[in-house]
Amino acid sequence: MPKLKTNKSVAKRFRLTKSGKLKKRSARRGHLLGKKSRKAKRKLRQSSYVSRADASKIRRLLPYG
């Protein structure tokens, strides 16, 4: 069977933790930050985990972890 290709756009956006969960960066962080409050921007610094419903779709695009 041939090797599977990793989807590179997904590989750059998500990281697999040791326990197998998928970590992601917070959304709404790219630009237009001047209108957001200091508190909102501070909360966006924290990364979070992908929901289980979405994780199965993302795992298919990351065949080798």
∠ CA 22-29-36 to the nearest 5 degrees?
135
pTM: 0.81
**Domain coordinates in residue numbering, the chain:** 8-28+35-61
Q: What is the pLDDT along the chain (65 residues), one digit of tens a residue?
A: 899 999 999 999 999 999 999 999 999 999 999 999 999 999 999 999 999 999 999 999 999 97
Output the pLDDT for position 42.
Answer: 97
Cβ contacts of 46 within 8 Å, gap of 6 or more: 26
Output the pLDDT for position 25.
Answer: 96
Output the pLDDT for position 65.
Answer: 79
Output the pLDDT for position 19.
Answer: 95
